[in-house]
Chains A and B, each alone.
Chain A
Amino acid sequence: MERPPFNPEQPEDRFDEQDRLLDLHLAALPRFDPSPGFADRVMARVRLPRPLVAAEPWYARPLVLGIRVQRLAAALAAMAASASTILTAWLAANSDLVVRATGRYAIGLVSLAQQELGRWSGQGAQAVLRVGAEFFGAANWPALAALALGALAAVPLSLLGLYLASRPPADRRLSHATR
């Protein structure tokens, strides 16, 4: 039998008596019961959560429940937060160095710009080198390296921690259902 013409926007456009009867008979089909003891068999495999969980917002519950990925995420976020705190403290304690280094660099750039406005020649390149040498000569290299590494580590670790903390469980379909 050929399929009737169909408009997807109006699936009921060919509603007729046979459709009405089909609806009637479909609606009359019964639901089925599982066998006795079904609930007990399910409950035997269900882990009841600790009462603490209910007090937590939904996004914090996995941490309380101890899901491995979420705990790892929390650890990474804590590490990143610690690194950021240490860096902030270090910067506060060594503010003079940072100000001096950045100040010199800024002064050097201004001076260079002034020179370059007047003449762009081999002397300009020498000036760039001179300013660069002054800046890098003044820097506390171990401290700057530690600063750079700390900053580099803190940002991605924070992002990774946040991503993992917000990530749904491994079962995509299950998590999708909670979207």
Chain B
Amino acid sequence: MTSHPDLSALTDQQVVAVALQGVESAYRELLRRYQRPVFSLIYRMVRDRELAEDLAQESFVKALNALDTYRPEFKFSSWIFKIANNTAIDYLRKKKPATLSLEGRREGGGPEEPRPIALPHPGGSPLDELEARELGSAIEQAIGQLRPEYRACIILRHIEGRSYEEIAEILELPLGTVKTYIHRARAQLKQILGPLRE
């Protein structure tokens, strides 16, 4: 295997080009860059850690084994998010999941280690920390109540910071539909959460 120590300095497209030479470290670099956002997206979509791991793994295997079909004139992030979102949506369409907490506890199933969600409150009191964590948890639950399409839009826009155009490309939706979905999703979130405070 050829050594490519400076892969982290390359663009996604360049890393893909190196990967297509059969360089395993380039594949690992792509995984390193996208495993968190892809896993987070799927986790928030299906709301089950174990299942999200399986689906994220499936998405990466699908993408990396089809890397030769990736066209470098398009964003790699859009490509991988599209595959991940399609994998999650396919699962949700096939099987309506049971109500789950984002912390991964299956109702009636075995307990999982909860993951605390805390907003950054520099210098905040323990009470602030607790409130922030509760609010974060409430927001996660509210996102979980949205329709999968709305959920994907909100996650990609507000958590992953993607542009409307990129979301439209990822979700294969018209730009106007994406804007509408995000607007409605936000309205629903505000309705579920009630008045918010800083």
Write the chain A residue with the least CB distance to B181: A11
Q: Are B136 and A28 in contact (CB under 8 A)?
A: yes
Contacts of A54 in B (CB 8 A): 17, 20-22
A residues touching B (Cβ–Cβ < 8 Å)? 1, 3-4, 6, 8-9, 11, 18-19, 21-35, 38-39, 41-43, 45-51, 53-54, 58, 61-62, 65, 168-169, 171, 173-179
Q: How far is the CB of B51 from chain A (nearest CB, A)?
A: 12
Q: Are B65 and A47 in contact (CB under 8 A)?
A: yes
How many residues of B sit at the interface, in one of the four size bands?
Answer: 35 or more
Kindly state the separation between the CA atoms of A23 and B189 in the bound complex, as whole angstroms.
11
Q: Which of B4-12, B26-34, B92-100 contacts A (4 or more CB under 8 A)?
A: B26-34
Q: List 27 A-B contacts (CB under 8 A).
A: A4-B187, A11-B179, A11-B180, A11-B183, A22-B189, A22-B196, A25-B136, A27-B159, A28-B136, A31-B36, A34-B35, A38-B39, A43-B24, A43-B27, A48-B22, A53-B20, A53-B21, A53-B68, A54-B17, A54-B22, A58-B69, A65-B68, A173-B86, A174-B66, A174-B69, A177-B83, A178-B69
Q: Are A31 and B37 in contact (CB under 8 A)?
A: yes
Q: Are B43 and A32 in contact (CB under 8 A)?
A: yes
Q: Are B82 and A177 in contact (CB under 8 A)?
A: yes
B residues touching A (Cβ–Cβ < 8 Å)? 17, 20-22, 24, 27-28, 31-32, 35-37, 39-40, 43, 49, 52-53, 56-57, 60-72, 74, 78-79, 82-83, 86, 115, 117-120, 135-136, 139-140, 154, 158-159, 161, 172, 176, 179-180, 182-184, 186-187, 189-191, 193, 195-198
B27's contact among A38, A41, A46, A58, by CB below 8 Å, is which?
A46
Contacts of A21 in B (CB 8 A): 196-198
Write the chain B residue with the least CB distance to A47: B65
Q: Are A29 and B36 in contact (CB under 8 A)?
A: no
Q: Which 6 A-B pairs have the closest CB atoms?
A: A26-B158, A21-B196, A11-B183, A61-B68, A54-B21, A177-B82
Q: Are B56 and A38 in contact (CB under 8 A)?
A: yes
Contacts of A171 in B (CB 8 A): 62, 66
Assuming the contacts A8-B180, A23-B158, A31-B40, asked whether A50 and B197 have C-beta atoms less than 8 A apart, the reply is: no
Assuming the contacts A8-B180, A11-B179, A42-B60, asked whether A168 and B69 have C-beta atoms less than 8 A apart, the reply is: yes
Q: Are B71 and A178 in contact (CB under 8 A)?
A: yes
Kindly state the separation between the CA atoms of A9 and B189 in the bound complex, as whole angstroms.
21
Q: Are A39 and B31 in contact (CB under 8 A)?
A: yes
Contacts of B191 in A (CB 8 A): 1
Write the chain B residue with the least CB distance to A4: B187
Q: How far is the CB of A91 from chain B (nearest CB, A)?
A: 40
Q: Are B27 and A48 in contact (CB under 8 A)?
A: yes
Kindly state the separation between the CA atoms of A26 and B150 in the bound complex, as whole angstroms.
14
Write the chain A residue with the least CB distance to B197: A21
Assuming the contacts A34-B53, A43-B27, asked whether A177 and B195 have C-beta atoms less than 8 A apart, the reply is: no
Contacts of B69 in A (CB 8 A): 58, 61-62, 168-169, 174-175, 178
A177's contact among B31, B40, B60, B79, by CB below 8 Å, is which?
B79
